[in-house]
Amino acid sequence: MEKEDDGNSDTISTGGGMPAPYGRACTNCAKAKCRCIYRTTGTGCERLNGRDGSTRDSGKSCHRLKKECVPSVSVRKRNGKRAHVSRAAQLEAKIEDLVTLLQRQAAPGASDLRVSSPAEPPAGTSIPSATPTLSGGHSTTSQSGDSPPRAPPAPVVVLTRQMPECTGLVAQAGTLLGEVFPPDDHPRHHAVPQMAPPSTYSASLPPCNYIPNPLEAAESLVTFRKYMLIFLPFLHLPPSVTEDRLREMYPFLWFCIMTVTCKNADNRVMMSEAVKKFIAQKMVVDHEKNLDLLLALLVILGWSHHYVRKERPILCVMASLAKSLVFDLGLNKIPCEPYIAYCLRTPFNPAPREKTQDERRAVLACFLVTSQVSHSLKRLDALNWTPHMDECLLQLSQRREWEGDDLLVAQVKVQLIVEQLNRFTAQSPDNTPPYYYVSALHTQLQTIKAQLPHHLQTNDTLLSIISYTELAIHEITFTKPRGMPNTVIPDMQRYEAMESCLSALKSWFTRHFSIPSYVYVGMTFTYWCNLAHCLLALYRLSVLEDPAWDRRAVRNKIDLIQICERLKIGFEEIATKTMRDSGPTVEEDGFCMFSKMLTRVGDAWSAELNAINGNSMPNGGNHHGGSMPVQDPYMNGPAVDPQHAAVLMNIPLLQFDDSETWMAGLFDINWVVDP
């Protein structure tokens, strides 16, 4: 259908025009709110009245009015075509942004306030509309290629969001940190702290009110090197390693050495508390792991009687932390490719790094100490022995750097026998291995003793360990489960085990009394545990009721009361020397406590043994009745039966299923864990 416009011969066909796309009507039609129809000739436009297009207002069209038909500016947001980017590429881009950000932050002269002008994107490149920037909290979106150019944006001010307890990071536009931490409405100027350069060992000195001066530190290092490493040679300290050099290499180890060698009991308690808090902070809170921490833990475990007070025990916790450090540092096995490496494009395949001698000593000493603690406390397992530790043992024996390496190797070999005994005993139904198994372990022990180097064949430390191992092997043979009655017919194997235990005890005390009292300061915690065990084992053999056992012969061979007197004299000597060097203290020295404890125990045991032998026995009784009463060792109260005297002093009559209780009296603490 065709219509003629007034005063004009031009005819426009409704079918010949092209409606303007949505949002593309000319400015005149847009103002008149009419539909704009493009003419086929390209000059002007026609206009339709009404939204249905039924009436044409040709007289008021741009073509009829001779007006310039100006297309309106499109304001519709259009998303350009996005290039397909893989997820891996996006992650790599974000990582590169983070690396760039950290490099800029670590550069000198970095500040929180940075002013930058975003560069224009290259021609033909579209930026995803979701990419945020930090310009006043608004996001910028890209325009399509056919939109008119826009004015250059104002400079973007990028500010640092200060995070608590963290290093200030400068958030750049378009980075991951920029998305997480938007800028503040009001600029705040904060100085960006510089990152400290990484050090080999991040463990520093614990905060403590007492730090030994250089003269005291040098003297303490001499004491540690001369008297302590001869009992637990987990570290090689040649004369070239001075006190300053050790503090520089292993600062926390240095502090722990200063703690165990401190002569003043008050300062030692103060330093030990600082050590425990420092370990909790570094390992539990900061998740640090290094050789310095492991060596320091070995000092704590080796001489833990300097850390133990009348409070909760720390041995199991410290032993578990030491084992976790061995696992984290990978000292007990060869580095292998992790399972996650199979999912990556590039295999892990790290170059195997040969362990240093210090690392070999550390992992072997960790097994030695944790196994000794496990044998004494019966509350945790030792560090599992691995084939790689066999290699470390072989390398240390073949490439020894000092005599302590031979001693450590021999101690580990002997402790492996004790560990076999512990595991077999735990798996046995009645906690008693068969006789042939005990005989095999004893044969292994004798083989190790025969193969010792020449300089160790007279070493009192090692020979006392071997004697104690003989006691542990034969002791479980004659230890009957509770409730089993004594037989009238003697058991020859059991009698032989009792004789072997008595010989091992005599050998152990002979070695102990050959050590001067001034060397007692270097004896390890497990050595004192062995001393308590030997005392209680000798007491049990001295009062044991058995048809085939002569208790008088036991006392004639090795007198328990004389042993206690000699031990007390040695403790009094070292306690007097320590008090003279340190002066009066609030805390009582450990050797002074040992001397008092032995005095009380010796009096109780002396009364009981005299009653058994028929001396001063008014009723002619035996061990279980009619014995001479003794005074309560803890109070000036009524006399008590000697059978209960040891119980009052927290020293049971060698009940082996009581784990730690038999050691409680030795350290004057209560280690019984509440249910």
Domain range spanning residue 472?
431-481+490-539
Q: Of the given ranges (223-227, 338-342, 503-507, 642-646), which has the lowest mean pLDDT?
A: 642-646
Q: Of the given ranges (121-125, 351-355, 471-475, 613-617), which has the lowest mean pLDDT?
A: 121-125
pLDDT for residue 251: 92
- Which two three-digit tokens encode residue 224? 């540690």
Contacts of 600 (CB under 8 A, 6+ apart): 633, 634, 649
Q: What is the CA radius of gyration of the chain?
A: 43
C-alpha 74/C-alpha 30 separation (Å) is 12
Residue 287 lies in a domain: no
Contacts of 309 (CB under 8 A, 6+ apart): 269, 669
Contacts of 615 (CB under 8 A, 6+ apart): none
Distances (CA, A) of 582 to 223, 258, 261, 268, 555: 15, 14, 12, 11, 39
**Same domain (yes/no): 574, 535:** no
**Same domain (yes/no): 503, 606:** no
Length of the chain: 675
pLDDT at 669 over 50: no
First to last CA, the chain: 103
C-alpha 252/C-alpha 292 separation (Å) is 6
The whole-model pTM stands at 0.62
Instruction: Report the pLDDT averaged over residues 601-621.
Output: 66
pLDDT for residue 651: 35
**Same domain (yes/no): 523, 614:** no
426 vs 458, more confident: 458
Instruction: Report the pLDDT averaged over residues 426-446.
Output: 78
Contacts of 171 (CB under 8 A, 6+ apart): 101, 134, 158, 159, 160, 161, 177, 178, 180, 181, 183
Instruction: Report the pLDDT averaged over residues 492-514.
Output: 89
Residue 378 lies in a domain: no
C-alpha 459/C-alpha 403 separation (Å) is 11
Contacts of 104 (CB under 8 A, 6+ apart): 110, 170, 172
Residue 325 lies in a domain: no
Looking at 35, 50, 65, which one is the last position of a domain?
65
pLDDT at 487 over 70: no
CA quadruple 395, 399, 401, 405: dihedral, nearest 10:
40
pLDDT at 502 over 50: yes
**Same domain (yes/no): 568, 634:** yes
For 546-562, the pLDDT digits (tens) are 777 888 888 888 888 89
Quote the percentage of the chain above a pLDDT of 90: 23
**Same domain (yes/no): 459, 508:** yes
User: 116 - beta bridge partners?
Assistant: 156
3-state secondary structure of 264: coil
pLDDT at 140 over 80: no
pLDDT for residue 118: 39
pLDDT for residue 159: 35
Report whether 466 contacts 449 (CB < 8 A). Answer: yes
> What values do phi and psi take at 171, rounded to 5?
-85, 120
Nearest to 254 by CA among 305, 201, 307, 304: 201
Report whether 536 contacts 654 (CB < 8 A). Answer: yes
Looking at 33, 65, 97, which one is the last position of a domain?
65
* Amino acid at the residue 260: V
pLDDT for residue 69: 80
Angle between helix 357-377 and helix 315-329 axes, rounded to 10 deg: 150
pLDDT for residue 316: 85
Report whether 645 contacts 631 (CB < 8 A). Answer: no
Residue with tokens 């208790």: 551
Looking at 41, 65, 89, which one is the last position of a domain?
65
pLDDT for residue 252: 93
274 vs 7, more confident: 274
**Same domain (yes/no): 464, 530:** yes
510 vs 656, more confident: 510
Residue 159 lies in a domain: no
Q: Are strands 55-56 and 45-49 parallel, antiparallel or unpaired?
A: antiparallel
Instruction: Report the pLDDT averaged over residues 173-198.
Output: 35
pLDDT for residue 416: 95
For 62-98, the pLDDT digits (tens) are 777 777 788 777 665 555 555 566 777 888 788 888 8
**Same domain (yes/no): 594, 653:** yes
**Same domain (yes/no): 437, 475:** yes
Residue 198 lies in a domain: no
For 342-395, the pLDDT digits (tens) are 555 555 555 667 788 999 999 999 999 999 988 887 778 899 999 999 999 999
Q: What is the DSSP string of 463-516?
A: HHHHHHHHHHHHHHHH-PPTTPPPPSS--HHHHHHHHHHHHHHHHHHHHHHTS-
pLDDT for residue 111: 41
pLDDT at 99 over 80: no
Query: For the chain, how many structural domains are there in total?
Result: 3
**Same domain (yes/no): 526, 579:** no
Instruction: Report the pLDDT averaged over residues 496-510.
Output: 91
- Which two three-digit tokens encode residue 201? 């060992």
Q: What is the mean pLDDT of the chain?
A: 71
pLDDT at 268 over 80: yes
Residue 618 lies in a domain: yes
Residue 42 lies in a domain: yes
**Same domain (yes/no): 567, 531:** no
Quote the percentage of the chain above a pLDDT of 70: 62
pLDDT at 517 over 90: no
pLDDT for residue 366: 95
For 187-242, the pLDDT digits (tens) are 333 333 333 333 334 447 888 888 888 899 999 999 999 999 999 999 999 988 99
Residue 659 lies in a domain: yes
338 vs 153, more confident: 338
pLDDT for residue 450: 92
**Same domain (yes/no): 612, 654:** yes
Q: Are strands 639-640 and 630-631 parallel, antiparallel or unpaired?
A: antiparallel
For 285-326, the pLDDT digits (tens) are 888 889 999 999 999 999 987 665 555 567 888 899 999 999
Q: Of the given ranges (44-53, 487-496, 662-671), which has the lowest mean pLDDT?
A: 662-671
**Same domain (yes/no): 633, 586:** yes
Contacts of 498 (CB under 8 A, 6+ apart): 474, 478, 541, 544, 546, 549
